[in-house]
Amino acid sequence: MSIKLITGHIVHFPNSTESPQQDVVEIKQGALAIDGEKILTTDTAAQLTQRYPDAEVIDYGNKLVVPGFIDTHLHFPQTEMIASFGEQLIDWLNKYTFPTERQFEDPAYSRKIADFFLNQLWRNGTTTAAVWATVHKNSAEQLFSAAYERNMQILTGKVCMDRHCPDYLQDTPESAQQDSADLIATWHNKGRLKYAITPRFAPTSTEKQMAMMGELMSSYKDVYLQTHLSENQQEIAWVKELYPNSKHYLDVYDSYQMVTERSLFGHCIHLEDDEWRLMSEKGAIVSFCPTSNLFLGSGLYNLNKAKAFNVKTTLATDVGGGDSFSMLRTLGEAYKVFQLQNITMDSLSGLYMMTRGAADALKLPDIGDFNAGTFADFTVLDPHFNELSSLRLQDSDDAEDILFALSMLADERATVATWIAGNPVWQAQ
């Protein structure tokens, strides 16, 4: 065996929990023992150096070592249009998103942005992501290929839309189904890759295309679905016009067998109680995107409703509607969204939401914690990454306080290193 010991301030959640503050494991002078791609164990640094005297030691001192962040909704083709001047959702798509996505018909361009995009994830500590490509088959292929080369866990798929978008971005029901099936055959479960069937949202797919995407969901039981749901009031009104026989927005997807325990719905801001109930019954997953929701003026996600109906909530940056790749800063924006509704969320609950909680929601048992046998995907954070954070945290060694401060102050400079499957993919200079 070639064992490495990663020493530092270890923080993770070894079990599924509804009480992250009570069930967190924090080892202030701790270590991870990793063998190849996987974690062997965690303990104090003293115990593990004694147990593995010949191990290579990578010492991160008092820096935080946490499971790699899991971002459940973002768009890699929108990387270059991040922070474009705000519009409401529909106008923003037409003005910025669709023209940018046109460039991804070129495979070389797709690969260029895919490489840049993954590097941005790693610089911010993200090791797993559910990512949107474009309507072009090659855009998904290039992202899959780039992630596969680094043994990274990625869920992605080509976007499907055959109406209400520019002609240059339209596919057909038949081509969308065939391209998706081909991508599933080639990439799904190759290494750590997963396929996500990806209708952009109900307004951009005809009923025929929705039906054919539903057929795919029924045919491939372990693929995922990712789409948008109830992000914007104008969008909801549009769906009611286009699908007048549906009881509500979520019913559109459900009528085509798209609401399952592997379905990720981005935003879910304006859900009716019947929609919350259906989400819960089917075990569907919310991708909560606070930065994007604030940036586009879409609304405030109701965490209390999600909890009342026992709906799984994960955290997502939604780049490029979201204006940061940082899951820490996204957590900070989530805190503010909840503050506006008199909802309190502590930073350990936030960390759980974007590590073990997200892994559980996605049914990915080998990521999200430091249990034996999980992939050694982790990030190392420096609480003292600049003068201000150093001053703020000069007398603090408590993980909850450190994480809260970083959720407000951090940027990519707080990331010391990001490791995927036992290998460093990014390290600060």
For the stretch 176-201, pLDDT in tens is 999 999 999 999 999 999 999 999 99
Boundary (domain end) residue, out of 325, 360, 395:
325
| pLDDT for the residue 86 | 66
CATH number of the domain bearing residue 141: 3.20.20.140
| pLDDT for the residue 90 | 65
What DSSP string runs through 234-253?
HHHHHHHHH-TTSSSHHHHH
272: three-class secondary structure by DSSP: coil
| pLDDT for the residue 81 | 74
Q: Is 91 inside a domain boundary?
A: yes
75: three-class secondary structure by DSSP: strand
As a whole number of Å, the CA-based R_g of the chain is 21
* Length of the chain in terms of residues written: 429
One domain for residues 30 and 79? no
One domain for residues 86 and 122? yes
One domain for residues 316 and 283? yes
One domain for residues 32 and 76? no
CA distances from 128 to 50, 73, 209, 239 (A): 32, 11, 29, 31
Q: Is 60 inside a domain boundary?
A: yes
One domain for residues 138 and 176? yes
Q: Is 343 inside a domain boundary?
A: no
Boundary (domain end) residue, out of 325, 353, 387:
325
One domain for residues 212 and 312? yes
Boundary (domain end) residue, out of 325, 353, 381:
325
One domain for residues 34 and 101? no
Q: Is 358 inside a domain boundary?
A: no
One domain for residues 274 and 288? yes
Range of the domain at 272: 69-325
One domain for residues 40 and 101? no
103: three-class secondary structure by DSSP: helix
Output the CA angle 188-190-193, nearest 5 degrees. Answer: 65
| pLDDT for the residue 54 | 95
One domain for residues 247 and 233? yes
CA distances from 228 to 21, 152, 175, 269 (A): 31, 24, 21, 10
235-289 pLDDT, tens digit each: 999 999 999 999 999 999 999 999 999 999 999 999 999 999 999 999 999 999 9
Residue 209 host element (H or E): helix 207-219
> Distance between CA 323 and CA 337 in Å, rounded?
15
Supply 93's token pair: 């798509």
Nearest of 293, 395, 304 to residue 345 by alpha carbon: 304
Q: Is 350 inside a domain boundary?
A: no
Number of domains into which the chain is organized: 2
One domain for residues 151 and 278? yes
One domain for residues 28 and 126? no
Q: Is 167 inside a domain boundary?
A: yes
| pLDDT for the residue 87 | 66
Residues of the chain with pLDDT under 70: 1, 86-90, 92
> Distance between CA 296 and CA 251 in Å, rounded?
25
The structure tokens 């997807």 sit at 253
> Distance between CA 87 and CA 321 in Å, rounded?
10
CATH number of the domain bearing residue 50: 2.30.40.10
> Distance between CA 356 and CA 365 in Å, rounded?
9
What DSSP string runs through 141-175?
HHHHHHHHTTT-EEEEE-EE--SSS-GGG---HHH
CA distances from 224 to 154, 194, 198, 341 (A): 12, 8, 9, 32
CA distances from 51 to 12, 31, 44, 320 (A): 22, 12, 11, 46
| pLDDT for the residue 284 | 98
Peptide bond into 297 cis (omega under 30): no
Q: Is 339 inside a domain boundary?
A: no
Q: Is 356 inside a domain boundary?
A: no
3-state secondary structure 8-55: EEEEECCCCCCCHHHHCEEEEEEEEEEECCEEEEEEEHHHHHHHCCCC
Output the CA angle 345-347-352, nearest 5 degrees. Answer: 95
DSSP 100: H
Supply 45's token pair: 């640094």
